């Protein structure tokens, strides 16, 4: 058994230690957001946050995650109470098929958590590991900028006031 902290909750999982986190999230814990895209860390569809960093869950075995904090898209809010990143993607209608979007949102969240003032250039650079085939990129960038603006610490205003 491996114990993981999934979205703040301690969960024991029975999967063999070499099982990639992706399959544990989807098949054992019933979490839909992380997606299988390539199994090689080339597309980003499976991205989740582990201890603050965006990781590819398709190539991360559960055994290395013992006791570590994993955040999936489900941890950012729900259908009935969406979080700021989710609200921003809805407001910008930043999806076509939407399959790549959860992974994009998780990497963007990890970026904004460590740098709420990330520039457009930094956002683009950060998203380089992620593929979108529908061509929704412009909206994804807009949504992340919107999420940044709406979650940015109010320090920005106080700084300008100084």
Partner 1 sequence: MTQAISRRSVLTGAGALIVAFRLSGAQAQTETGTGGAPSKHGLPGSLDDTPRIDAWIRIDASGAASILTGKAELGQGLKTALLQVAAEELKLPLGRLSLVTADTARTPNEGYTAASHSMQDSGTAIRHAAAQARELLKDEAARRFGVPANALQVRDGQVFGANGKRLSYGELVRDQLLSVDATPTSRLTSPADFTVMSQPVPRVDIPAKVTGGAAYVQDMRPDGMLHGRVVRPPSYGATLRDCDTSPVEKIRGVVKVIRDGNFLGVIAEREWTAVQAMRTLAATTTWIERQELPDEADLPAALMSLPSRDSTIRDTGSPGNPGILVEGTFSRPYLTHGSIGPACALAQFADQKLTVWTHTQGVFFLRDAIAGMLRMPTENVRCVHAEGAGCYGHNGADDAAADAAMLALAVPGRPVRVQLMREQEHAWDPFGPGMVVKLRATVGTDGAIADWHHEVWSQSHMMRPGPPGTLIAARLKSDASPPAPPVALAQPEGGGDRNAIPLYAIANCKVISHFLPDMPLRGSSMRSLGGYLNVLSIESVIDELAVRSGQDPVAFRLRHIEDPRARDVIEAAASRFGWTARVKSSESTGFGFGFARYKNLEAWCAVAVEIEVPRLSGVVRIRRVVAAVDTGQIVNPDGVRNQIEGGILQAASWTLFERVTFDRTRVTSVDWSAYPIMRFDSVPESVDVHLVDRPGDAFYGVAEAAQGPTGAALANAIRDATGTRLHELPLTPARIRKAISR
Q: Is residue 99 close enough to count as binding partner 1 by CB under 8 A?
A: yes
Nearer to partner 1, 34 or 55 (CB): 34
CA angle, residues 44, 47, 51, in degrees to nearest 5 = 140
In sequence order, what are the beta bridge partners of 2?
Answer: 13
The only residue of 6, 29, 33, 110 in contact with partner 1, by rule CB under 8 A = 33
Q: Is residue 108 close enough to count as binding partner 1 by CB under 8 A?
A: no
Q: Is the dihedral of CA 146, 148, 154, 160 positive or negative?
A: negative
Q: Is residue 119 close enough to count as binding partner 1 by CB under 8 A?
A: no
d(Cα 150, Cα 66) in Å, to the nearest integer?
34
Nearer to partner 1, 9 or 157 (CB): 9
- 84-91 vs 101-114: helix crossing angle, rounded to 10: 130
d(Cα 112, Cα 22) in Å, to the nearest integer?
23
Nearer to partner 1, 16 or 119 (CB): 16
Residues that bind partner 1 (CB under 8 A): 15-16, 19-20, 23, 26-27, 30-33, 35-40, 42-43, 45, 72-74, 77-79, 82, 86, 89-90, 93, 95-102, 105, 124-125, 127-128, 130-139, 141
């Amino acid at each position: 058994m491996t114990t993981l902290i999934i979205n703040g909750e301690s969960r024991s999982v029975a999967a063999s230690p070499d099982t990639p986190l992706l399959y544990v999230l989807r098949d054992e814990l019933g979490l839909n957001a992380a997606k299988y895209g390539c199994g090689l860390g080339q597309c980003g569809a499976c991205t989740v946050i582990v201890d603050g960093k965006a990781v590819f869950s398709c190539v991360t075995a559960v055994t290395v995650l013992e006791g570590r904090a994993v955040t999936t898209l489900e941890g950012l809010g729900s259908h009935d109470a969406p979080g700021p990143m989710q609200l921003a993607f809805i407001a910008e209608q930043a999806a076509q098929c939407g399959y790549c979007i959860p992974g994009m949102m998780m990497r963007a969240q990890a970026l904004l958590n460590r740098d709420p003032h990330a520039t457009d250039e930094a956002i683009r650079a950060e998203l380089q590991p992620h593929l979108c085939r529908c061509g929704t990129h412009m909206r994804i960038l807009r949504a992340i900028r919107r999420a940044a603006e709406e979650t940015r610490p109010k320090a920005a205003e106080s700084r300008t006031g100084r």
